[in-house]
Chain A
Amino acid sequence: MNETMNNAILLQEIKDLFEDISYQAACEYEGCGADDGWPSVKPLI
């Protein structure tokens, strides 16, 4: 890992977890965050 990447905040390992699961599982449906407020979020692990 290069020196600059040591300062990365959004850990690549976690980004890879999101890449590995399907796009729709990663995004899920947020719904109307304003009024229902129950997004459907699948665990990454």
Chain B
Amino acid sequence: MSDINYHIFKNMETCILFLTEEKQAFTISEEEYNSIYAKRDNYRIVEKYVKSVEKYKSNKSHTGKDYIYELYLCVANCCNANCSYCFAGQGSYGKEKGIMSDETAYKAVDRFMEIVPFDCTAVITYFGGEPLMAYSVIENCCNYVTKKYNNRKYEFHITTNATLLNREIIDFFAENKFKIAVSIDGGSVIQNAQRPLLNGNDSFVEATKFLPYMHEKKLRLLARGTYTNFDVSLVQCYDELLKLGFEEVNIEPDILDKKREYDMDKLLAQLDVLRDYIVDYAKTRNDFPFGLFKMQMRRLFIPLKKELKGCGAGKVTFAVDIKGDIFPCHRHSSMPETVMGNVREHQQAMSFLDIDYQEANCALCWNRYTCSHGCMYEDKSISGSYYVKNPCFCKYSRKMTEIAISLCNEMDKNRLIKVLSGI
């Protein structure tokens, strides 16, 4: 038994022990908690719990197979907003501004479809900058895919600030079963402060004016927010977005800066308050629109796999910029050294780093099998190495795992199955 194979924490009055290799958590007594904490007889107590789950250990070998691939088609290398924290350099990724040609979009799709195995799903995500600045490219590209690849499995997604929508565009999205992620951070005050529009219009009003029509068309709508000022109530951000009727609300903390280590205690405290809000929400509502927490809860139940793989950038995820250059993901497209090719070159198979976080400090972390391992781009841009994790992310991820365990502890079996199923 080693210290890296278990973790104890408290949630309100509940003491919890988590076993890393067993992927199991237990409520334990205050006395046991204090003994483990003080390292008095800790191994004996932990071993007792390890032994209790031995017979449930699976003999199956879980190696995994990728079967969903995603292409980020960055159709607009420009944006009509000026978000202070934008990783994409206000939409241009530090490159020349412009719009993708139809021909480049078609070639990108063709190249992508060559990579995606026939029995796998190809997700085409329109991204920017602000992709609606290139709406005609999106429309033409969808029609191209629909016509040419009608024997394949594919989905269309878009991440947009929603300020350039109109009814015609929404009708087109509904016809093509788009899944839409709206970039919005909260209510009017937060949205206007963090996501100002270049034309000076009210960002919140512009982003939400077509929400009723999108609801009417039964579009799948997710709010994708950024949480940057940890003094602002995170619960308030969630609450304001949920009131707008989004099917899911995912608010990611802005931790793309090592200096944020000094703010992390504030963020963790905000997450504790949010956890209580989610528990109350789940008691009174049948839905569970907290996507990030849902995924973290699923990670607890997914069978143990010893490989500690990354996010899939350059393996199952690719991005193409307006010039047709191929990158491991949209975020990497500001790193010219990571270019993998161009859609106009018919080249051999592309390759990118096959990361295994066993080689990073992750091998020593109790959260290693329940962590998403975060964003490769973030690690590289902060530390210069894919193998040195953003320390802020590690703290955040460990907190999310603790919260996911405590949320599981609050739900009965039937509710938990529904939440984990995404129902």
List of B residues within 8 angstroms of A11 by Cβ: 413, 416
- Bitwise, B8-39 to A at CB < 8 A (1) or not (0) is 00000000100000011111100000000000
Once the chains bind, are B25 and A14 in contact (CB under 8 Å)?
no
Q: Check B301 for interface membership: any CB of A closer than 8 A.
A: yes
Knowing A15-B301, A18-B302, A38-B222, say if A7 contacts B28 (CB, 8 Å).
Answer: yes
B residues 240-277 in Cβ contact with A at 8 Å? 248, 250, 252
Max chain A Cβ within 10 angstroms of own Cβ: one of B67, B123, B301:
B301
List of B residues within 8 angstroms of A13 by Cβ: 413
Once the chains bind, are B330 and A35 in contact (CB under 8 Å)?
yes
- For the complex, what is the distance from the CA of A13 to the CA of B417, rounded to whole Å? 10
Report A28 CB to chain B, min CB distance, Å: 7
List of A residues within 8 angstroms of B66 by Cβ: 24, 29
Once the chains bind, are A23 and B127 in contact (CB under 8 Å)?
no
List of A residues within 8 angstroms of B68 by Cβ: 28-29, 31, 40
| Complex: chain A residue closest to B125, CB-CB | A36
- For the complex, what is the distance from the CA of A5 to the CA of B48, rounded to whole Å? 11
- For the complex, what is the distance from the CA of A38 to the CA of B64, rounded to whole Å? 20
Q: Check B311 for interface membership: any CB of A closer than 8 A.
A: yes
Q: Check B106 for interface membership: any CB of A closer than 8 A.
A: no
Mostly, the B contact residues are mixed
Once the chains bind, are B157 and A27 in contact (CB under 8 Å)?
no
Which of A2, A24, A31, A41 touches B422 (beta carbons < 8 Å)? A41
With an 8 Å Cβ cutoff, the count of chain B residues facing the other chain is: 66
- Bitwise, B82-125 to A at CB < 8 A (1) or not (0) is 00000000000000000000000000000000000000010101
A residues 1-45 in Cβ contact with B at 8 Å? 2, 4-5, 7-15, 17-19, 23-24, 26-45
Report B306 CB to chain A, min CB distance, Å: 13
List of A residues within 8 angstroms of B301 by Cβ: 10, 14-15, 17-18, 26
- For the complex, what is the distance from the CA of A2 to the CA of B55, rounded to whole Å? 11
Report B115 CB to chain A, min CB distance, Å: 14
Once the chains bind, are A4 and B52 in contact (CB under 8 Å)?
yes
Which of B27, B179, B375, B413 touches A34 (beta carbons < 8 Å)? B375
- For the complex, what is the distance from the CA of A7 to the CA of B45, rounded to whole Å? 14
Once the chains bind, are A9 and B295 in contact (CB under 8 Å)?
no
Once the chains bind, are B64 and A27 in contact (CB under 8 Å)?
yes
Once the chains bind, are B417 and A45 in contact (CB under 8 Å)?
yes
Knowing A12-B56, A35-B159, A38-B181, say if A4 contacts B48 (CB, 8 Å).
Answer: yes
Knowing A2-B52, A23-B303, A44-B421, say if A33 contacts B70 (CB, 8 Å).
Answer: no
Once the chains bind, are B372 and A8 in contact (CB under 8 Å)?
no
User: Which residues from chain A sit less than 8 Å from chain B, CB to CB?
Assistant: 2, 4-5, 7-15, 17-19, 23-24, 26-45
* A-B pairs, 8 with minimum CB distance: A29-B68, A4-B52, A43-B421, A41-B422, A9-B25, A7-B26, A23-B62, A37-B181
